């Protein structure tokens, strides 16, 4: 089973490093020259690609693999897929991004299924930072695929001594867990940046998790999926570590600091998409709604906190 990773960013390169230690793999990058020249990614300093990793800028060559891992920002996935004219029939297509497409209001595996209905979509998600994976630090992820045989094969082929995959058939739950936790991470960063303290952060994590579960179950996910790696596990990581770009963005909002506009913050667009979904479904998502408002400059962090504190009292 041949494997190709599409996307030479930090996460795609980190996966290539980890998987390349156990088997040959192809890494496609739009700008492959730096990787070809140095065998190191500028986003992962000091980490060298194994010799078993073939780097290429030839997309057609990479598309010949049996398994394709799409490692790119969520909001870029649909446009990237549009440019691929190959049918990809019978292949396993693994989304390695987290979010909800702003135009279709679908997760990444659903986007792949729309483009290639004769392929088998899957998603690789869970609590992880690219730098940790690339350095060989122990990491556990969720591999979600509705086809049991494909899920088993992907789990076997993509797991490494330091990268442990757990499989599930609940693709919807895995998608939404990975997407929604980014929104809650922004909220946690904003609370800490505003000086609200760790008790407030714990409250945001807990009530945010309730929102995540509420929406996911309404859309067909299993509640227990959200308690696993792709939900609660990822939520804890991104809400407590400054390695998380979403959390750092929230910190900047709370402190009133500028944030590098060149950095992709998936939770911003996801908050906007979730706000649309909440309106369509009638599901209450107050924290996600407030993140959308403060990210767009509609209200201040202090006003958002006051809104949440003034909501009617209720049972947990």
Q: What pLDDT does 37 receive?
A: 87
Element housing 195 (H / E): none
**Residues tagged active-site:** 181
- Going along the chain from its start, the domains and CATH numbers come out as 3-169 (3.40.50.720), 172-309 (1.10.1040.10)
Q: What pLDDT does 34 receive?
A: 85
What percent of the chain is predicted at pLDDT more than 70?
Answer: 100
Per the DSSP assignment, residues forming a β-bridge with 94 are: 69, 122
pLDDT bucket at 50, cuts 50 / 70 / 90: very high
Q: What pLDDT does 315 receive?
A: 87
Alpha-helix residue ranges (DSSP H) falling in 21-104? 33-38, 59-62, 74-82
Strand 139-144 to 120-125 pairing: antiparallel
Q: What pLDDT does 70 receive?
A: 98
- Measure the CA–CA gap between 34 and 43, rounded to whole angstroms: 11
Max Cα distance, the chain (Å):
60
**What is the 3-state secondary structure of 102-125?**
CCCCCCHHHHHHHHCCCCEEEEEE
| Mean of pLDDT over the chain | 95
- Measure the CA–CA gap between 305 and 194, rounded to whole angstroms: 10
- Measure the CA–CA gap between 114 and 111, rounded to whole angstroms: 5
Contact 34, 42 (CB under 8 A): yes
pLDDT bucket at 316, cuts 50 / 70 / 90: confident
């Amino acid at each position: 089973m041949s494997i190709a990773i599409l996307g030479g960013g930090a996460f795609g390169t980190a996966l290539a490093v980890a998987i390349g230690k156990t088997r040959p793999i192809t890494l496609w990058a739009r700008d492959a020259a730096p990787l070809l020249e140095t065998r190191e990614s500028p986003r992962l300093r000091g980490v060298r690609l194994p010799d078993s990793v073939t780097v290429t800028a030839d997309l057609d060559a990479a598309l010949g693999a049996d398994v394709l891992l799409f490692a790119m920002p969520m909001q870029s996935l649909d446009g990237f897929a549009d440019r691929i004219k190959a049918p990809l029939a019978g292949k396993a297509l693994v989304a390695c991004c987290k979010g909800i497409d702003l135009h279709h209001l679908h997760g990444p595996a659903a986007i792949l299924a729309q483009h290639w209905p004769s392929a088998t979509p899957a998603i690789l998600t869970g609590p992880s930072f690219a730098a940790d994976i690339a350095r060989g630090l122990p990491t556990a992820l969720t591999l979600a695929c509705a086809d049991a045989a494909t899920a088993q094969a992907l789990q076997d082929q993509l797991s490494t001594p330091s990268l442990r995959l757990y499989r599930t058939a609940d693709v919807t739950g895995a998608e939404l867990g990975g997407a929604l936790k980014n929104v809650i991470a922004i909220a946690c960063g904003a609370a800490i940046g505003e000086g609200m303290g760790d008790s407030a952060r714990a409250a945001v994590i807990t009530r945010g998790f309730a929102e995540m579960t509420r929406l996911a179950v309404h859309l067909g996910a299993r509640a227990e999926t959200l308690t696993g790696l792709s939900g609660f596990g990822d939520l804890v990581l991104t809400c407590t570590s400054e390695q998380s770009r979403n959390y750092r963005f929230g910190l900047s909002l709370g402190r009133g600091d500028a944030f590098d506009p060149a950095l992709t913050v998936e939770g911003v667009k996801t908050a906007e998409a979730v706000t649309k979904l909440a309106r369509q479904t009638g599901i209450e998502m107050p924290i996600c709604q407030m993140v959308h408002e403060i990210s767009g400059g509609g209200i201040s962090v202090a006003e958002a906190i006051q809104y949440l504190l003034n909501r009617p009292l209720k049972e947990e």
